[in-house]
Amino acid sequence: MSSAPRPSRAPLRCRALSLALDGPPRFMGILNVTDDSFFDGGRHLALDSALARARQLVAEGADLLDIGGQSTRPGYVEISEAEEISRTVPVLRALAAEFPCLPLSIDTYKPAVAAAALAAGAHLLNDIHGLQGPGGPALARLAAESGAAVVIMHHDPELRETPDADPLPAVLSWLRRSLDLAAVAGLPADRLALDPGIGFGKTQPQNLALLARLDAFHALGQPLLLGISRKSVIAHVCPGLEPGERLEGTLALTALAVSQGVQLHRVHDVQANRRAALVATALAGVRASL
């Protein structure tokens, strides 16, 4: 029998909502209201367009939505807090009214944006700096005071300075430090999810090494979220593919992640990924029974 740690099956509490994780994989639909995101930048800047896209993601089976107004693609240009708020808050407010039982995430590392998003109805804070950026302490306090959940993503550029070393121990250690910071701020474990941060501050071999051993992250005892949708990690394996051509690679990685017990998947294409996950889940169930 495998000695790999078992995935956490406890629900993720998000303010007044709760996201069950003891069933099929869950899908976080990506809604970028930006002008420069690597795949869909500029498509959903207008409120009507953003809401139409959100409705499409929900119709495809999204279990929660992640709204982002600041692109974090390689070479991104940082916008002001005011601009990020003006992009995201109207969308969040409208979605909270239309889908009151749907968890809404704000993809930001800026406390002022997070505070405005929470006031507009957001339930989760998705922090690419894992509470270890300059705004980390304030984000942790906001989550603790509001009851919001937090997605803690690994993002440590120093990892690239040791390209020949196994990245897993360093990433696990970094995430443990984030969990300690969350605990100090008063955030209970049932409001925390972890993201290994594929594509952030990592070499291609490091990305692949982590993707091959996602099940090792279950040792941290928290739900896992994976964001690999249409990322350049796929283009490195299949040279020359533009973001619009990376769906098949995304589906392969989603199936791999499901087979390793990853419960949450942040994707652009909800329906296709859900179908891939259903097949992978069925195979995993048969394998477990053998």
Which domains, ranges and CATH numbers included, belong to the chain?
Answer: 25-289 (3.20.20.20)
**pLDDT surpassing 50 at residue 1:** no
Pairwise CA distance, residues 172 & 179, whole Å: 10
Q: For the chain, what is the mean pLDDT? A: 95
**pLDDT surpassing 90 at residue 136:** yes
- For the ranges 73-82, 105-114, 202-211, 253-262, the lowest mean pLDDT is seen at 73-82
Strand order in the sheet with 264-267: 192-195, 149-153, 124-127, 104-107, 64-68, 26-32, 264-267, 225-226
pLDDT single digits (tens) 60-95: 999 999 999 998 877 788 899 999 999 999 999 999
Residue with tokens 């002001």: 80
**pLDDT surpassing 70 at residue 2:** no
Would residue 266 show up in a list of annotated catalytic residues for this protein?
yes
Q: What percent of the chain has pLDDT over 70?
A: 99
φ and ψ at residue 267, rounded to 5 degrees: -140, 155
Amino acid at 71: S
Q: What is the pTM of this model?
A: 0.95
- For the ranges 96-100, 255-259, 281-285, the lowest mean pLDDT is seen at 281-285
CA distances 226 to 90, 100, 169, 247, Å, are 27, 25, 18, 15
Catalytic residue among 15, 110, 202, 266: 266
Would residue 93 show up in a list of annotated catalytic residues for this protein?
no
Question: For residue 247, what pLDDT is reported?
Answer: 98
Catalytic residue among 53, 202, 230, 231: 231
Q: What percent of the chain has pLDDT over 90?
A: 88
